[in-house]
Amino acid sequence: MQNYSIFSLIKNAFSNHEKWDLAWKDPSPKKEYDVVIIGGGGHGLATAYYLAKEHQITNVAIIEKGWIGGGNVGRNTTIIRSNYMHDDNGLFSEFGMDLWRRMSQDLNYNVMFSPRGIINLAHSDAQMNVYARRGNSMRLNGIDAVLLNREQVQEIIPMADFSENVRFPIFGGLMQPSAGTARHDAVAWGYARQADSMGVDIIQNCEVIGFDVSAGKITGVRTSRGDIKAKKIGLCVAGSTNILAEKLNMRLPIETHLLQACVSEPVKPVLDKVVTFGAGHFYISQSDKGEMVMGGDLDGYNSYAQRGNLPTLQHVLTEGIAMMPFLSKLKMLRTWGGIMDMSMDGSPIIDKTHIEGLYLNCGWCYGGFKATPASGWTFAHTIAQDKVHKLNAGYSLNRFNTGHLLDEKGLGTKTWIS
């Protein structure tokens, strides 16, 4: 594999950048693999990368119905954070933060990780108390957290609405200074390129039609490009999880919902933090190109549409304007939607299943992108060792049966309002 560096850049300049190697190959599926990962999104690519890198398992295929970078890894708002209260979520995410900090070097690919900090705004005394509690829980887990009062928030984001007569006055906020953003496409491409270089076959335009299970053990997968035998299969298909579960006669605590995001026209640098509105569901950051990147609520009903509905967009942007009135002057450049695997307690599932050799990675709700490296790392461990790592022990499938829910927000089973 060609190393990316200033020297390779200069060298290729002499050939008008026409002689770069392909970042990854386009192989046809082989008859058999040790491990097949279904889903060539961020999580699937990261899983294959860590299988090869950490466990020396390289006879691996990633099969992807569409193309690399076309699903949620290219549809998110690129926010990276570990500001969780529960130990299982906090420790898992903070492990991921360490991987994020090293990612550009590890992958030899600039993922433009920008630890600019995230501020969750509080709009009441009660919310300040809740944030103080969450901040303390974070610090006990070694995650940085700073509780800000109104004046401190105003210093950092003076463009927010600090006037007296607002419906949701800003009381303060909880900041995680080490949180930030990264270039989402680069994460997918970086993992794909490295996985490919270590021998992983990335097979695109390959749809799963069915599974072969015999005597409680997975033996292969049937695809639109032929049958593939596999000793182990990992599902990493986000919003399509229920479709594949149906083919396996499994019912999961997952519903598929649509989440929209949008960007404004590019403007000069105004916001150097990620900010979330605490009285509703709205988050915003500014991209390096100057666009304001925004998102918020789900569309509110089960959906596989991968495109949004305007009432939700209007609702979300109303919250944005309540928080930062200057947004009303911006034109929208693009909107898009992705289908989310919403779990019943708001936390993910990375676990074995009742079928031997079949592993499940789903339930990422709003937070799939930031979990990409930690999800791939722990899922690779779970597949390679056939047992869960302590980092994903809390993300078990049977927690819904045993009552050990990870309800970070405590909103119950109505996935469409969580």
* Residues that bind another protein in the complex, under the rule CB under 8 A: 242-243, 246, 251-256, 300-305, 309-311, 344, 400-401, 413-414, 416
Minimum CB separation from another protein for residue 239, in Å?
9
CA nearest 184: which of 278, 86, 345, 295?
295
Minimum CB separation from another protein for residue 139, in Å?
33
CA nearest 88: which of 354, 387, 345, 414?
345
Minimum CB separation from another protein for residue 223, in Å?
18
Minimum CB separation from another protein for residue 386, in Å?
25
Output the 3-class SS for 191-238.
HHHHHHHCCCEEECCCCEEEEEEECCEEEEEEECCEEEEEEEEEECCH
Minimum CB separation from another protein for residue 57, in Å?
32
Which burial class, exposed, middle or buried, applies to 393 when counting CB atoms under 10 A from its CB (0-12, 13-18, 19+)? middle
Q: Please, are residues 81 and 370 in contact by the beta-carbon 8 Å criterion?
A: yes
Minimum CB separation from another protein for residue 304, in Å?
4
Q: Chain centroid to CA 166: how far?
A: 33
Closer CB to another protein, residue 197 or residue 302? 302
Closer CB to another protein, residue 19 or residue 307? 307
Which burial class, exposed, middle or buried, applies to 140 when counting CB atoms under 10 A from its CB (0-12, 13-18, 19+)? exposed
CA nearest 238: which of 343, 161, 335?
343
Q: Is 299 helix (H, G, I), strand (E, B) or coil?
A: strand
Closer CB to another protein, residue 251 or residue 331? 251
Tokens standing for residue 150: 């109104």
Minimum CB separation from another protein for residue 409, in Å?
16
Closer CB to another protein, residue 217 or residue 414? 414
Closer CB to another protein, residue 128 or residue 208? 208
Closer CB to another protein, residue 88 or residue 255? 255
Closer CB to another protein, residue 219 or residue 413? 413
**Using N-to-C axis directions, what is the helix angle for 87-107 and 184-197, rounded to 10°?**
70
